């Protein structure tokens, strides 16, 4: 299993906790019905998970799954904040899900496959726990395709370092473009693919994204991996951090993040 590159430092969570079902799994929403049993694999801080719980209503049942018990505390805290006492948070590995075949009507994963060494086996496992008539939904990013302006050399270097670490961990940072191949290799059926973006293109979101990476460059698992692998010096990380800050306060700044989207519908018989 690949080492989860981002980690759960506050600077990382700042980017994950703004996620909603609407901005992160719009492709799944038309297929949700009240009463569905939903599994959200790699749920992280669970803002998407808990939105899904609202959408399937009180007759539905949502489970957020995370690798480590300590990460589940993030989801439990967000559930308590929202007054959601129904959603379950359980520890487990997507490579060996602790559920019987056909246990869920929806199996969802947002930005998880890009971190795994064997995403095809993960999809097979997600498909196994999907009930006949159910839908599997995945959305994953493509770091190599992210684009931004202005484009100082320090931010190109940031991407170069990110890609190098992810690949050294045998993960796939350009996961989006692989979704069709992975789905076919995993034997999924009734596949639909698409793409969508997040765009940061106003003062508020650019400043938020720039400040966040200003911190993440110096205080997250990314920082540790760069230094441990001696890919760059502390000095270079500080230059990258400052470049992010400057980018975020540039009135012309814009950042576009491409995602691939996969739906697969399990036949009813
Ligand atoms: C980029 S975060 C996405 C979190 C959440 N889905 C979201 O979009 O807000 C990826 C998550 O996958 C989890 N993860 C990584 N490998 C996993 C595995 N083998 N099984 C379960 N979860 C895993 C990480 O702990 C992390 O919380």
Average pLDDT, stretch 208-221? 94
Q: Is the pLDDT of residue 203 over 80?
A: yes
Q: Atom of ligand 1 at shortest distance to CA of 24?
A: 8
Q: Cα 75 to chain center, whole Å?
A: 14
* Ligand 1 binding pocket mutation candidate from 112, 119, 121 (most atoms within 8 A of CB): 112
Q: Atom of ligand 1 at shortest distance to CA of 116?
A: 16
CB of 16 shorter than 6 A to ligand 1: yes
Report residue 18's pLDDT band, with 50, 70 and 90 as the boundaries: confident
Q: Are 129 and 104 in contact (CB under 8 A)?
A: yes
Report residue 16's pLDDT band, with 50, 70 and 90 as the boundaries: low
Cα–Cα–Cα angle for 240, 241, 247, rounded to 5 degrees: 85
Gap between the Cα atoms of 216 and 2, Å rounded: 20
pLDDT digits (tens, 9 = 90+) for 159-201: 999 999 999 999 999 999 999 999 999 999 999 999 999 999 9
> Domain range spanning residue 140?
10-265
Q: Are 75 and 45 in contact (CB under 8 A)?
A: yes
CB of 67 shorter than 6 A to ligand 1: yes
User: What dihedral angle (degrees, nearest 10) is formed by the CA atoms of 37, 113, 151, 164?
Assistant: 160
When divided into structural domains, the chain yields a total of 1
% of the chain beyond a pLDDT of 90: 93
Average pLDDT, stretch 249-257? 98
Gap between the Cα atoms of 109 and 41, Å rounded: 5
Which secondary structure element, helix H or strand E, spans residue 93, and what is its range?
none
End-to-end Cα, the chain, rounded Å: 33
CB of 112 shorter than 6 A to ligand 1: yes
CB of 56 shorter than 6 A to ligand 1: no
Q: Are 50 and 82 in contact (CB under 8 A)?
A: yes
186 in any annotated domain? yes
CB of 19 shorter than 6 A to ligand 1: yes
Q: Is the pLDDT of residue 2 over 90?
A: no
252 in any annotated domain? yes
CB of 169 shorter than 6 A to ligand 1: no
129 in any annotated domain? yes
28 in any annotated domain? yes
4 in any annotated domain? no
194 three-class SS = strand
What are residue 212's phi and psi, to 5 degrees? -65, -45
Q: Is the pLDDT of residue 234 over 90?
A: yes
Question: 60: buried, middle or exposed (CB in 10 Å: 19+, 13-18, 0-12)?
Answer: buried
Take atom 10 of ligand 1 and give the residue whose Cα is closest.
112
Q: Atom of ligand 1 at shortest distance to CA of 1?
A: 19
* Ligand 1 binding pocket mutation candidate from 67, 69, 142, 143 (most atoms within 8 A of CB): 67
- Supply the DSSP symbol for 144: G
Q: Is the pLDDT of residue 108 over 90?
A: yes
Residue 200 belongs to domain with CATH number: 3.40.50.150
Q: Atom of ligand 1 at shortest distance to CA of 94?
A: 20
Task: Give me the pLDDT at residue 269, please.
Answer: 74
Task: Give me the pLDDT at residue 231, please.
Answer: 95
Token reading at 22: 């609407």
Task: Give me the pLDDT at residue 59, please.
Answer: 98
- What is the 116 CA–ligand 1 centroid distance (Å)? 9
Q: Is the pLDDT of residue 13 over 60?
A: no
Take atom 22 of ligand 1 and give the residue whose Cα is closest.
42
Task: Give me the pLDDT at residue 14, please.
Answer: 58
218 in any annotated domain? yes
2 in any annotated domain? no
1 in any annotated domain? no
- What is the 112 CA–ligand 1 centroid distance (Å)? 5
Token reading at 146: 């992210």
pLDDT digits (tens, 9 = 90+) for 39-55: 999 999 999 999 999 99
């Amino acid at each position: 299993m690949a080492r989860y590159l981002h980690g759960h430092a506050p600077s990382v969570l700042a980017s994950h906790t703004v996620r909603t079902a609407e901005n992160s799994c719009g492709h799944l929403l038309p297929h949700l019905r009240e009463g569905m049993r939903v599994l959200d694999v790699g749920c992280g801080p669970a803002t998407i998970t808990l939105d899904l719980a609202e959408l399937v209503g009180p007759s539905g049942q949502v489970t957020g799954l995370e690798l480590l018990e300590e990460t589940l505390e993030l989801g439990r805290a967000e559930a308590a904040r929202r007054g959601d006492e129904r959603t379950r948070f359980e520890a487990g590995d997507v490579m060996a899900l602790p559920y019987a075949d056909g246990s869920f009507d929806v199996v969802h994963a947002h930005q998880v496959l890009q971190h795994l060494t064997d995403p095809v086996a993960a999809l097979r496992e997600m498909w196994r726990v999907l009930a006949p008539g159910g839908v599997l939904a995945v959305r994953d990013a493509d770091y190599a395709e992210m684009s931004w302006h202005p484009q100082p050399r320090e931010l190109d270097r940031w991407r170069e370092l990110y890609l190098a670490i992810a690949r050294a961990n045998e993960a796939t940072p350009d996961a989006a473009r692989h979704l069709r191949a992975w789905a076919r290799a995993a034997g999924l059926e009734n596949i639909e693919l698409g793409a969508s973006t997040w765009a940061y293109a106003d003062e508020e979101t650019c400043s938020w994204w720039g400040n966040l990476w200003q911190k993440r460059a110096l205080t997250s698992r990314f920082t540790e991996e760069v230094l441990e692998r001696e890919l760059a010096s502390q000095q270079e990380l500080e230059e990258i951090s400052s470049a992010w800050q400057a980018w975020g306060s540039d009135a012309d700044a814009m950042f576009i993040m491409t995602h691939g989207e996969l739906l697969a519908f399990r036949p009813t018989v």
